Structure 1
Amino acid sequence: MPALQSFGTDYRALVIGSTGALGRAFCAQLRADPGCALVTELSRQSTPALDLADPPSIAAAAQALAGQGPYQLILLATGLLHAPGLAPEKSMSAIEADALQRVFQVNSLGPALVMRHFLPLLAADGALAVLSAKVGSIADNRLGGWYAYRASKAALNMLLKTAAIEHARQHPQARLLSLHPGTVISPLSQPFRGAANARPAAQAAAELLKVVDHRTAADSGGFFAYNGERLPW
């Protein structure tokens, strides 16, 4: 991957969700960039630990890392689509309150708290990017189904957009971006149709970092695919 150009020299990066397929790939790509002076990893297994289902851990992790900031790049590489006892709904009759709450906690509520607690650690001209999904686009929804995942990612997009508007009032040079990674070889995509055409995580990470690198403050609050295409809400 070519060196990132928009963060200057000796930039600092933070990857939240560093044990997932894309999180690990982001960390590897950033460590290979000679311009990156520090890559800090956060996950449920890190020290400090950060668990999106445990709100106090989010605040505690941000407080613990405050002395390392500011970060020029913060990546939230997390998402929940399925798990034991949890699968995407094929119809409205499959909607369950517990499943909705579980998915929203990881895909929407936790990320909202990440933005609350970690945006103060972002450099004034830095970039924060979250992993969304094209199926979270309301305008692009043509198939239905996947209620919890679609709705939680649509909520994430709104939270990111709203945070970008507020953040720009004091930091007009910052970039807050919502990213669609496409189908990536990972445990998240493995059970589903289309996984056979999935891209390696290393390729996807390089593509997404290129998108972030090429965006400007004018793009803050935007929703972009891995190929740079701006996606509809």
Structure 2
Amino acid sequence: MDSGNSFRRAALFGSSGGIGAALCSALADRDVEVWAGSRAGLSPDPRCHAFAFDLAREDTIAAAAAAMADTPPDLVIVASGVLTLADGTGPERSYRQIDAEAMDDVFRLNTIGPALVAKHMLPLLPRDRRCVFAALSARVGSITDNRLGGWHSYRASKTALNMLLKNFAIELGRTHKQAVVAGLHPGTVDSALSEPFQSNLPEGQLTAPRDAAANLLAVIEGLTPGDSGGVFDWKGEPVPA
């Protein structure tokens, strides 16, 4: 494993979250030129180039891609997502709690949004060298590893995301022989997303954002084109489909 600076430029969609901000700084530490995207258009690190985007608005994603076209990234990370909606609606514990509008919002942010990022960013990736498109997924998106049920919208949105990543890997692999498309499970990270659910965690299971970023970058560095289409946890182990 090298020092993690094998990439020249990175575009990070979701830089305002705990993991996203930590990834921006970790990449900048490794002398990677970083584009840091958030809804507010503010960078968490002064070394990064800030841009504004909204996962629910394709035009903002297209504009961000156009701004990077002359100096395209070889690493794209989608680090955004939602577990609890802005109005406080949390993951459903029962099918009786399923609400169509809430489910639509979760899929728009966790599945459709990353797909639109892929639509506009995959064409920018270089064909002559290694490149990576990664999106934060979750172990609960695994169908075969589902033992508890519940969290219907969140689970299903991540399962759908994983299928899209597999599709993108197959398609991109036809033209980009050194490309990797992958989902990443960061573990339980001390962030706004996990905060409502931290009280029941066993001691030592919560990871600091800086450590999570280092773990994820180490996983990314170790991925090969043969891994493309898979989902991997923070230790680099495959997550079952």
Report the TM-score, using the length of structure 2 for normalisation.
0.90
Of 104, 107, 121, the residue aligned with 2:107 is: 104
Q: Residue 63 of structure 1: CA displacement? A: 1.5
Is the CA contact (8 Å cut-off) linking 1:18 and 1:27 kept in structure 2?
yes
* 2:79 equivalent in structure 1: 77
Aligned to 1:224, what secondary structure does the other structure show? strand
Report the number of matched residues: 227
* 2:47 equivalent in structure 1: none
1:14-163 map, 5 Å: 14-34=11-31, 36=32, 38-46=33-41, 48-69=51-72, 71-83=73-85, 84-124=87-127, 125-163=130-168
Aligned to 1:172, what secondary structure does the other structure show? coil
Mean Cα deviation higher: 165-174 or 52-61: 52-61
Deviations 1:108-129 (A, max 9, x none): 0011110010011222221111
Structure 1 outlier segments of 4+, above 6 Å? none
Aligned to 2:196, what secondary structure does the other structure show? coil
Aligned to 1:191, what secondary structure does the other structure show? helix
Is the CA contact (8 Å cut-off) linking 1:15 and 1:74 kept in structure 2?
yes
Q: Residue 195 of structure 1: CA displacement? A: 8.0
Extract unaligned runs of 5+ from structure 1.
Answer: none
CA distance in 1, matches of 2:181, 2:82: 21
* 1:230 equivalent in structure 2: 238
* 1:186 equivalent in structure 2: 191
CA distance in 1, matches of 2:14, 2:172: 23
Aligned to 1:231, what secondary structure does the other structure show? coil
CA distance in 2, matches of 1:61, 1:12: 14
Residue identity in the other structure for 2:35 = T
CA distance in 2, matches of 1:161, 1:231: 13
CA distance in 2, matches of 1:195, 1:133: 18
Q: Residue 4 of structure 1: CA displacement? A: 1.2
Is the CA contact (8 Å cut-off) linking 1:15 and 1:39 kept in structure 2?
yes
Give the share of equivalent positions with the same residue, in percent: 48
* 2:229 equivalent in structure 1: 221
Extract unaligned runs of 5+ from structure 2.
Answer: 42-49
CA distance in 2, matches of 1:5, 1:185: 25
Q: Residue 2 of structure 1: CA displacement? A: 6.4
Q: Residue 68 of structure 1: CA displacement? A: 2.1
CA distance in 2, matches of 1:108, 1:96: 17
Residue identity in the other structure for 1:155 = A
Residue identity in the other structure for 1:186 = S
